[in-house]
Amino acid sequence: MSSEIKEQPIKCPNCGHNIRIALDASEGDQDYYDECPACCREMHLNLHVDEYRQKIQLTVNSDDEQIF
């Protein structure tokens, strides 16, 4: 039993600001939104856990369809 929380540096797709986010790989694949602290726009985060290679793949993109 080990909790797999890793910090990963990412870049905001909207403004390019560098952010560190905590990833919890024990939860499996995740698809969620987080707000950029610099530009306050939402980032779409997609976390994929590759159990065979014990790697975490993180995809970050902005949602162009999102209108505030």
Q: Which of residues 20-59 bind Zn ion (CB under 5 A)?
A: 36, 38-39
C-beta closer to Zn ion: residue 56 or 60? 60
C-alpha of 16 from chain center: 14
What SS3 state is found at 27? helix
Q: Does 10 bind Zn ion (CB under 5 A)?
A: no
What is the Cα–Cα distance from 54 to 20, expressed in whole angstroms? 20
Nearest CB to Zn ion, comparing residues 5 and 15: 15
Residues in the interface with Zn ion (CB under 5 A) total 7
Nearer to Zn ion, 5 or 39 (CB): 39
Q: How far apart are the first and last CA of the chain?
A: 42
Residue type, 50: D
Write out the residues near Zn ion by the rule CB under 5 A.
Answer: 12, 14-15, 17, 36, 38-39
